[in-house]
Amino acid sequence: MGSGGSNSAGGGAIALISNGTVVVNGSVTADGIDTGATSSSSGSGGSIYISANAINGTGTITANGGIHGGAGGIGGDGGRIALYYNTTNTLTGTVTASGQSGGVAGTIVFVNSNSKDLYVYGGALGNGAGYLYLDASSGFDAYTMQPRYDGVYKFNHVYIGTYAGNNYNGTIYFRGTYATNMNGRGPILMALGNITVYRGSHINASGDGFAA
């Protein structure tokens, strides 16, 4: 769920799970609430999780931060959108997790459950840059579709920052330490195939080493 601002609520959490097809011709939204109060902040976008055999439609899926309309305020951060599909993703509508008026962009992640591929996009397809955090105390195995707790994230191919032939900047941040020995290690992004970081996108662990 999205965090609340100083004067408005964050977006909620939506989970849609289907053994068939999820068709979105209308809208699925978990946006933060706007505020017009002076020197206030708006709510962050929430989270949307969709898991289906196929996903299609021409509608909108949004987890945007709220807009602020008052002087000296700041908009909400974008939320998180994760779409898991087995066969096809032919969604041609709008998918956004945008930060508003000073808020940072959220993250859009598509996972092909059949090919085990991970796609990481910016906070809006066509607008902004999004962030995905890989924590050393968590993990995920796309081959078993189960969480892990050793900091390993396992996929087939990983694509960061591209969608339908266009670049939409994304960043994966590595965070934390998995303490298997005195020094430990950070998270591991494991691909049995390729890892592709497209122009304008990043994998980043800057400043996440031992403290001074």
- Distance, in Å, from the CA atom of 188 to the CA atom of 179, rounded to the nearest integer, reads 13
* Comparison of pLDDT for 27 and 126, the residue scoring more: 27
For residue range 170-209, list pLDDT tens digits in order. 788 888 877 665 567 889 999 999 999 988 888 988 887 7
Decide if 161 contacts 169 (C-beta within 8 A).
yes
Q: Tell me, what DSSP letter sits at residue 178?
A: B
Look-up of token digits 């090919």: 115
Among the residue ranges 21-30, 63-72, 79-88, 142-151, the one predicted with the least confidence is 63-72
Mean pLDDT over each residue of the chain, to the nearest integer:
81
For residue range 91-106, list pLDDT tens digits in order. 878 888 877 777 777 7
In this prediction, residue 129 carries a pLDDT of: 47
Judge residue 141's burial from the number of C-beta atoms within 10 Å of its C-beta, 0-12 exposed, 13-18 middle, 19 or more buried: middle
Look-up of token digits 């945008």: 98
